[in-house]
Amino acid sequence: MTQYDAAATSMWRCFSKTPDNAAFTSLPSNIDLNEVNPGGTRLAAMARGLNLSEIDRAPDELMNAMLRKAVKGGGVRVPAPVRAAFVNAGKKDGDD
């Protein structure tokens, strides 16, 4: 677990004491799982040569840039990474 887990809002309000066993209707898949991304694009050129055979072998900055451009469009500016820490100093005697 990380500092982000420690600073996250508790999820206990998401659950009830009694389960809801009502049936649900699933929707058919509308995504072709055999479809692949087209070659010859800028993103394909960015990905060329990356080691994707194992987790965390490709550079984070490049993967983040590729993801942002894939979602937002190729012409978007990729913001600088933000690194921050959450600190819980705790409540001391006499604090309100």
The pLDDT > 70 percentage for the chain reads: 93
Name the band, by pLDDT with cuts 50, 70 and 90, for residue 93.
low
Nearest to 69 by CA among 50, 94, 46: 46
> Would you call 94 exposed, middle or buried from its count of C-beta atoms within 10 A (0-12, 13-18, 19+)?
exposed
90 vs 13: which has the higher pLDDT: 13
Name the DSSP letter for residue 34: T
Q: In this predicted structure, what is the pLDDT of residue 74? A: 87
pLDDT for 44-85, tens place per residue? 999 999 998 999 999 999 999 999 999 999 899 999 888 887
Q: Taking residues 36-50, report their average pLDDT.
A: 89
pLDDT exceeds 80 at position 11: yes
